[in-house]
Amino acid sequence: EIKYTQLFINNEWHKAAKGKTFPVINPSTGEEICQVEEGTREDVDKAVEAARKAFDIESPWRKLEPAARANLIRKFADLLRRDIDYLSKLETLNNGKPVGDSKGDILGSAACIDYYAGWVDKIAGETLPGAHDQFIYTRHEPIGVCGQIIPWNYPIMMMAWKFGPALACGNVIILKPAEQTPLTALYCAALLKEAGFPPGVVNVIPGDGPECGNAIASHEHIDKVAFTGSVEIGKKIQEAAAKSNLKRVTLELGGKSPLIICEDADIDYAVSVAHRAIFTNAAQNCTAGSRTFVHAKIYDQFIAKSIELAKNRVVGDPFDSNTEQGPQINESQFKKILDYVEAGKKDGAKLECGGERHGNKGYFIKPTIFSGVKDDMRIAREEIFGPIMSVLKFDSYDEVIKRANSTSFGLGAGVITKDLTRGLTFAQRLEAGSVWVNDYDAIINQAPFGGFKQSGHGRELGKYGLESYYEVKTVVVKLI
């Protein structure tokens, strides 16, 4: 059932230079699925060579008409949809998310790819008004070899968000999927070959962060690196990029996103939004609504109803269609999350439900709720990436905005209220790249997504997502 376990360079499958492999684990059972070739610096070098060749000005990729490039990209989206059954099962096997969620991710990914395919022949430079004897115009040129390092929480979707704009602008790619979840990326590499992408345009090198990821970030001949992952690693990547060849950097990092529930919110609606805001994808979501601010007037009601919803959340085998929540990705995350449960208790928050392992196989954790959380507690400040809802009380709107903004993160924020003015005011004042009013985590392919402050810089999705994948060249022709 696992078809591809090697490195994908130049449309061919290769063994790793150092001859080593690494295990890929099924988080539902803790058991090994298979071994995958482990890419290191030499393999990255090989991929860069292939990519550079594919980017040569005379290459088939560079000479492809925009409409033809668009057709290729759409073909890839069609293949994702064609193989959705297999791919969703593979994603669930490797990542642990419920198979229905995997299917949703794939459809969203295909739509994202289609969205960017539509941009290919619409990326235009400008002619600029100048002196009478000047002809001035800009070109939007592809940057070149783009290193893309993606995480394990949405393997296929993160790949789609990276591929879409990069290919639309005519770049070539070296993708390093997370070492926890390389399998679907490798399968998609085969689809790219089937779609007809020329060799070297997209290369996929599974490997770890310190060796393989670092090789990409510090490579002298990679022109840009895009990274989605933790703040800690993001900083390392930016440093390595600057120290080597000043390659362009975009980062999508962590968050501690606030969801603010106002006194006039429909309580049932608010509870359901808050529930999915934190628990979706087993809370392994950079925009997880991990600080739930609830107005004092509805606080007790909110807690009671949230506990009920959390207790009824079906945790279990992600291949079971009734399951709502699968396992955490691995042992290390699993331990870290349970440590946070202890920290919450120690800091004095009230454990309302959950707070322990679910079952005795795999890395399942029960949906957990802490109430009475204070701003300075660890569970209110640090990104947990696990199913722990932290509920904080507030009674002043001015004050809650300040508290919501009092973080070095700034990825997402939500507010539930019937008062439009209040909603729009919050939208103005919340220091976050995405603000959702009466919703949460509304991810839409046309709308840019990214972080304020240490949640990252640059935007993905939307037209803005293209900006970090082209270089602007100004041409001035003097007319003599």
Catalytic residues: 252
User: Does 120 participate in binding other proteins (rule CB under 8 A)?
Assistant: yes
Single out the segment in contact with other proteins by CB under 8 A; choices: 19-27, 115-123, 263-271, 435-443. 115-123
Q: What are phi and psi of 137, to 5 degrees?
A: -150, 160
User: Does 138 participate in binding other proteins (rule CB under 8 A)?
Assistant: no
Strand partners, 291: 258
Quote the CA–CA distance of 82 and 79 in Å, as a whole number: 5
Single out the segment in contact with other proteins by CB under 8 A; choices: 107-115, 241-249, 382-390, 449-457. 107-115
Q: In terms of CB distance, is 78 or 382 closer to other proteins?
A: 78
**Strand locations in 332-449, DSSP E?**
350-353, 368-371, 388-394, 412-416, 434-437
Q: DSSP characters for 429-463?
A: H--SSEEEESSS----TTS-B--SGGGEES-BSTT
User: Does 475 participate in binding other proteins (rule CB under 8 A)?
Assistant: no
* Single residue of 36, 50, 51, 64 touching other proteins by CB under 8 A: 64
* Single residue of 2, 107, 111, 437 touching other proteins by CB under 8 A: 111
Strand partners, 147: 174, 225
User: Does 163 participate in binding other proteins (rule CB under 8 A)?
Assistant: no
Single out the segment in contact with other proteins by CB under 8 A; choices: 113-121, 150-158, 356-364, 386-394. 113-121
* Single residue of 121, 263, 467, 471 touching other proteins by CB under 8 A: 121
**Cβ atoms 156, 186 nearer than 8 A:** no
Is the torsion defined by CA of 291, 294, 300, 301 positive or negative?
Answer: negative
User: Does 463 participate in binding other proteins (rule CB under 8 A)?
Assistant: yes
* Single residue of 8, 33, 55, 74 touching other proteins by CB under 8 A: 74
Quote the CA–CA distance of 150 and 166 in Å, as a whole number: 14
**Cβ atoms 80, 113 nearer than 8 A:** yes
Residues in contact with other proteins, shown as a per-residue x/- string from 226 to 265 under the rule CB under 8 A: ----------------------------------------
**Cβ atoms 289, 430 nearer than 8 A:** no
User: Does 57 participate in binding other proteins (rule CB under 8 A)?
Assistant: no
User: Does 160 participate in binding other proteins (rule CB under 8 A)?
Assistant: no
* Class of residue 383 by CB neighbours under 10 A (exposed 0-12, middle 13-18, buried 19+): buried
* Single residue of 7, 117, 411, 413 touching other proteins by CB under 8 A: 117
Single out the segment in contact with other proteins by CB under 8 A; choices: 108-116, 211-219, 271-279, 382-390. 108-116
**Cβ atoms 252, 409 nearer than 8 A:** no
* Single residue of 446, 472, 474, 475 touching other proteins by CB under 8 A: 446
Q: Can you say how many angstroms the Cα of residue 73 is from the centroid of all Cα atoms in its chain?
A: 20
Single out the segment in contact with other proteins by CB under 8 A; choices: 196-204, 252-260, 294-302, 323-331. 196-204
User: Does 75 participate in binding other proteins (rule CB under 8 A)?
Assistant: yes
User: Does 169 participate in binding other proteins (rule CB under 8 A)?
Assistant: no
Residues in contact with other proteins, shown as a per-residue x/- string from 422 to 441 under the rule CB under 8 A: --xx--xx------------
Single out the segment in contact with other proteins by CB under 8 A; choices: 56-64, 218-226, 318-326, 432-440. 56-64
User: Does 405 participate in binding other proteins (rule CB under 8 A)?
Assistant: no
User: Does 6 participate in binding other proteins (rule CB under 8 A)?
Assistant: no
Q: In terms of CB distance, is 382 or 431 closer to other proteins?
A: 431
User: Does 131 participate in binding other proteins (rule CB under 8 A)?
Assistant: no
* Single residue of 119, 152, 299, 302 touching other proteins by CB under 8 A: 119
* Single residue of 36, 44, 51, 72 touching other proteins by CB under 8 A: 72
User: Does 28 participate in binding other proteins (rule CB under 8 A)?
Assistant: no
Q: How far is CA 388 from CA 188, 270, 355, 358, 412, in A?
A: 33, 17, 8, 14, 17
**Cβ atoms 183, 24 nearer than 8 A:** yes
User: Does 476 participate in binding other proteins (rule CB under 8 A)?
Assistant: no
- Amino acid present at 421: T
Quote the CA–CA distance of 352 and 390 in Å, as a whole number: 10
Both tokens assigned to 413:
């924020």
Quote the CA–CA distance of 212 and 152 in Å, as a whole number: 16
* Single residue of 31, 56, 135, 332 touching other proteins by CB under 8 A: 135
Q: In terms of CB distance, is 107 or 343 closer to other proteins?
A: 107
Q: DSSP characters for 244-295?
A: HT--EEEEE----EEEEE-TTS-HHHHHHHHHHHHHGGGG--TT-EEEEEEE
Residues that bind other proteins (CB under 8 A): 60-61, 64-68, 70-72, 74-75, 111, 114-115, 117-122, 124, 135, 195-198, 420-421, 424-425, 428-429, 445-446, 463, 477, 479-480
